Structure 1
Amino acid sequence: MDQPIKSLHPLPARESSVVAAAAYAGGRRVAEIMVEEAGEWSRRPGHVVWIGLHEPSLELLRRLQAEFGLHDLAIEDALKAHQRPKLEQYGDALFVVARTAQMLDGRISFGETHLFVGHGYVVTVRHGASTSYTPVRERCEASPKALLEGEDFILYAILDFIVDNYMPVIETIQAEVEEIEDCILAETSTQSHVRRLYQLRRDLLRLRNAAVPLVEVCRRLEQPGLPGINASMQPLFRDVSDHIRRVQEEIESLREVLAFAFETSLMTGQAQQTEITRKLAAWAAILAVPTAVAGIYGMNFEHMPELQWRYGYLLVLVMIGAFCSVLYWRFRRNHWL
């Protein structure tokens, strides 16, 4: 088995923005490289340079531009986050923007990955919340035959990794929504549950806006004519499109569930308020009887015959109790109490 080629001279410390930079040949890593020598490695026959950056400076991007001849507009887009997912072609090079997502502190945090893909090189630029692509690199290096395909396979592996990471986010939200639904059906939901449902629905809308445009990106990658994309890779990009459509279906289904849960929580709250109102009205009607009687006797009229009767006070109490008991029985029968 061929041994990986080692770099012949010691390398200086790598910049903090450069996560990884390596050259590959025959599907195997042959050297750790510096940005200043990336262009030379990429021009060697059968070699591919794969550089990973995290929130790089403009100066670092300019150095990469000098090495690979990157377009000014692509450099400008890669420097700034908040780009819409897209695919742009600049001559023989491609510039791809994808949105990443992960759960942080109960909310969906979004990041971006910008990819420069050209003959002999792939450069990834990550912004914001994004899972490290180290597992992607390790998976590719563990499969030299697949990595032998070159830069288009690396592009596919990264896009597939981004799309696959959408599903854990959806599953986490789905589990939380089921818990809130159980609280709603058990009539133990609170106002915080309603607010949480609204937050989750907004987050899912943002996730849909981040994921769905990748369908168009992959559709263009499926079609012939793009530089550096071999026909053998087109089915793989079609598979990524299928995954995105599945993610879209899951999002739409979950948003409907959230809408129903939100409406159910509101209806449950209204029903609880109505029930409380009925109870208050029923007790108010019951208490109205002794209040009215006490109000009459509190007016201190001089001629009230029952005041001179020995059992008058007892009779009034019995009548008050009887009226209140009848009212209580009727309200209980009508499920007001």
Structure 2
Amino acid sequence: MSELEMGNMTIPTVPQLAYQPQEVESELPTMDLQTYPLLSQREIARLLLQHRLLSELLGGPLPPMLDISRIHQVLDVACGIGCWDHEMALRYPTMQLTGIDKNPASIMQAQAFMNEVRNVTLMVQDILTLDRGPFVPASFDLIHIRFIEADIYFQDFARLVYTLARLGRPESFLVWRESELPLTSGNACDQLEALLLSAMQKAGRAFAPGISLSMGIAAWMRYWMRLAGYRILQEKADFIDISYGRKTHEAFYEQAVAFCEQARPFLLKTGVITAPDYEELFKQVQQEMQEAMFCGVWPIRTLIGVKQA
């Protein structure tokens, strides 16, 4: 692998030609690169760095309370480019991991990222159609979900968690991790978050009926898991310090910039802000995040459940 400098860290990047296109063509549908563009080397590096920092801060890819000896078959839901799967495969070589994502470009780049890893299978699969296959019920000892709140409508969550419960064996685990919006000292950051929540309300994607500076998904996770037949073993709240000068600040800044780019079409489409006003707000967000007095925390909620027999 080659390397890319990012902040004060040097991390490996995925080689552009690590895969053979003719080999993956039979496994992947023909890609519309406008709908599913390939990520740049810099974006892959950013995602790798973000994953490594979070894994370090949260104590590893799995909560330490889990009985690893009971886990053999693992399903990673919405795996993206496979950062979590790669770490798990190296830490636990006897486990068999399956990562699924609806984005064929992500799966292609994840396959390149895996390199010589042999205990990971990656598949293009819409997580909202798992009730129609390809997995049979009671296939997995552990199901892992992470940061999917932006990808799924509120009304689809209960059905998704129920479907995942069917895929788990009796006494299998579900580990689910989601984040809420950051709490910061920045006025522009607050404005951006308020616009996002307003847009989610207009688009029917909100988790709460009112407008606040919170996504609101953390309040629902326990309910959906219990409804699907899980007993909650542990519920944990972490607050990642993203203040200026902290270890995580530069990675969070890169994440915020990427998020602003990704959120632009959604915010403009819902009409909560005009394009010129958004560009000005974007600049203000970047400026205040680089100020020495910038303070913030990023709330992350983790739930661990066991499927009741």
Higher share of residues assigned strand: 2
TM-score, normalised to structure 2, is 0.28
TM-score, normalised to structure 1, is 0.26
Greater relative contact order (CA < 8 Å, ≥ 6 in sequence): 2
Q: Which has the larger radius of gyration?
A: 1
